[in-house]
Amino acid sequence: MKKLIKWISLTALTLLIQSLILIFTGIKTNLFFLLIFLFIVDYYFPKEQKKNISPNEVYPLIFFAFIGFIEDLGQEIIGPSIISKSITGYLLIKITNQFFFTWSPPFKGIIIFIFTLLDEFISMVIVMSFFNLDFEHFVLLKEIFIRALINVPLGLFISWGRP
Amino acid sequence: MIKKSSIISLILITTFCIFLIFYQSKKEIILPKFYFSQLLKPLILVKDSIKDFLLLKQENAQLKKQIFELSLKENYYSSLVQENKRLKEILSLKEQRKDIVAIGKVISKGSTKYLKTIWIDKGSAHGIKKDYSAVTTNGLVGKIVSVYPESSEILLITDPNFSVSVRIERSRAEGILSGKGDKCVIKYIPLEEEVLVGDRVITSGLDGIFPEGVIIGAVKSSDKRKGLFQIIEVIPMQPENKIEEVAVIKRG
């Protein structure tokens, strides 16, 4: 129960920070992905995995879907972020389960960057496929790229010293 | 190792969402949009207030600068208007008096510490000669004491070295006016002559230098206690610190 409250509080805090950044700077960020990353750092990094204390994968998936749902609530379309967050979260769990990776800061940075891009890309493809929305592709890609770049130092910060 | 349960969960979530998105795209399900920013409205207000404050500060600085520039311009235009007025007056004086040689602009105060003089930008090249009188629309200013091709020096009537033959306009009593620093005094008017405060003093033309009838000033006071003559204090009509243009007229 404590853990549930902790993660719901963190979700609310992430939403608040993301909204504040948007209000004060006009920059759209993808901090929810960092929340997923933090969750995985907490429960799935090799040290914890070795201790065999990681939870099963269904509850995390539901949590990722919940994060995606919260994100989608602000978009008027429910679904794209649920799918993207679930898929990227799941793949991230699978990556962390591989013992042959050395989780050095550069590697973590690359993973954060690639998975943020993947998350954004899945969501973008779904919206573009189902809805007749006009996008300026270059601008959209640039924004996605910037969001991924922003996540790298923040992700390294929240996972500093781990594993 | 891939767990079956997690794969099934992922597929279920994805499929459900795909259906949800499909029906949303067909407008069969319309979900309300949650404006999280509405929850943060007070913060937005704070942000807007800060932004407004900074903008106002910037605007205020710009407006202050504009006010300063405008006041400078206004001063400049007002000085132009004043100059125009003075020049018009001088021109009308020139039309009235046919003996005006030139109209000069005051370019500096006197160069020596012993004499009270001013310099004008007209000289012998413009027909000015020594001992010519300098007047304004208000009255006599002084006389030319030195002439150069492009400039002349005028000895002011308040200088102690200046003297002119004058007449009290009302009583026609004659005397000699000379400077006394910041005022003038008339000497050699007998005690029995009636001189009243405020009487206008004009040149008599008897000295052969100044033309007759040029206003000099007004009587401030008359002292009959000493000697055979009255000592009459005169306030010049033309304050010496407000001379900007003068007309130079020929010898009387």
- Record: contact A83-B14, CB cut-off 8 A: yes
Find the radius of gyration of the CA atoms of chain A. 16
Q: How many residues does chain A have?
A: 163
pLDDT at B177: 94
Residue pair B245/B87 in contact by the 8 Å Cβ criterion: yes
Q: Which residues of chain B from 7 to 26 reach within 8 Å of chain A, CB to CB? A: 9-10, 13-14, 17-18, 20-22, 24-25
Res A55 pLDDT > 70: no
Chain B residues close to A90, C-beta within 8 Å: 6, 10
Domain membership of residue B183 (yes or no) is: yes
Instruction: Give the domain CATH number at B109.
Output: 2.40.10.340
Give the tokens for residue B246: 């003068």
The mean per-residue pLDDT over the stretch A71-83 comes to 85
The answer to whether position B246 is within a domain reads: no
- Supply the CATH number for residue B177's domain: 2.40.10.350
Collapse the DSSP code of A133 into the 3-class scheme (helix H, G, I; strand E, B; otherwise coil) and give the result.
coil
Q: Which of B3, B17, B47 sits opposite A24 (nearest CB)?
A: B47
Structural domain count, chain B = 3
Q: Does the bond joining A105 to the residue before it have cis omega, within 30 degrees of 0?
A: no
How many CA atoms lie within 13 Å of A29's alpha carbon, on the beta-carbon side?
Answer: 25
Decide if pLDDT at B196 tops 80. yes
Q: To probe the interface with B, which of A86, A93, A131 has the most B CB atoms within 10 Å?
A: A86
Residue B247 forms part of a structural domain: no
- Chain A residues at the B interface, defined by Cβ less than 8 Å, are 15-16, 19-20, 22-24, 56-58, 61-62, 65, 73-80, 82-83, 86-87, 90, 93-94, 97, 126, 130-131
Q: Which of A130, A131, A132, A133 to mutate to test the interface with B (most CBs of B within 10 A)?
A: A130
How far A160 CA lies from chain B's nearest CA (Å)? 27
Confidence grade of residue A163 (pLDDT, cut at 50, 70, 90): low
> Residue B55 pLDDT more than 90?
yes
Full residue range of the structural domain in which residue B76 is found = 41-96
Claim to verify: residue B130 and residue B78 sit in the same structural domain: no
Per-residue b/e over B94-130, b at no fewer than 16 CB within 10 Å? beeeeebbbbbebeeebeeeeebbbbbbbbeebebee
Query: Does B59 share its domain with B79?
Result: yes
pLDDT at A51 over 60: no
d(CA A136, nearest CA chain B) in Å: 20
- Are residue B66 and residue B103 in the same domain, yes or no? no
Note the ipTM here: 0.82
Domain regions of chain A by residue span: 2-158
**Domain assignment present for B3:** no
- Judged by a CB distance cut-off of 8 A, whether residue B27 touches chain A is no
| pLDDT of res. B207 | 87
B5/A57 Cβ within 8 A = yes
Distance CA B249, CA B213 (A): 13
Q: Please indicate if any CB of chain A lies within 8 Å of the CB of B36.
A: yes
User: Distance between CA A2 and CA A45 in Å, rounded?
Assistant: 21
B78 found inside a domain: yes
Q: Is B224 exposed, middle or buried (0-12, 13-18, 19+ CB in 10 A)?
A: middle
Q: Which amino acid is at A57?
A: E
Contact criterion met (CB below 8 Å) for A61 and B9? yes
Question: Of A20, A74, A86, which has the smallest distance from its Cβ to B14's Cβ?
Answer: A86
Share of chain A above pLDDT 70, in %: 91
Q: Within this chain, do residues B178 and B221 fall inside the same structural domain, yes or no?
A: yes
pLDDT at B20: 87
Please tell me whether the peptide bond between A163 and the residue prior to it is cis, using omega within 30 degrees of 0: yes
| Total Cβ atoms within 10 A of residue A77 | 20
Q: How many CB pairs under 8 A join A and B?
A: 78
Strand B140-147, strand B133-135: pairing: antiparallel
Q: Is B17 within a domain?
A: no
Residue A133, sorted as left (phi over 0), alpha (psi -120 to 50) or beta, turns out to be beta
- Both B151 and B104 in one domain: the answer is yes
Which of B96, B113, B140 marks a domain boundary?
B96
**Given this model, what pLDDT does residue B218 score?**
92
> What's the residue count for chain B?
252
State the pLDDT confidence band at B2, using cuts at 50, 70 and 90: low
Q: Which of A117, A14, A11, A109 is nearest to A64 (CA)?
A: A11
Confidence of residue B209 (pLDDT cuts 50, 70, 90): confident
| Average pLDDT value over all residues in chain B | 86
pLDDT in tens, B56-91: 999 999 999 999 899 989 989 988 898 888 888 878
Is B47 within a domain?
yes
B31 to chain A, minimum CA–CA distance in Å? Answer: 7
pLDDT of residue B61: 93
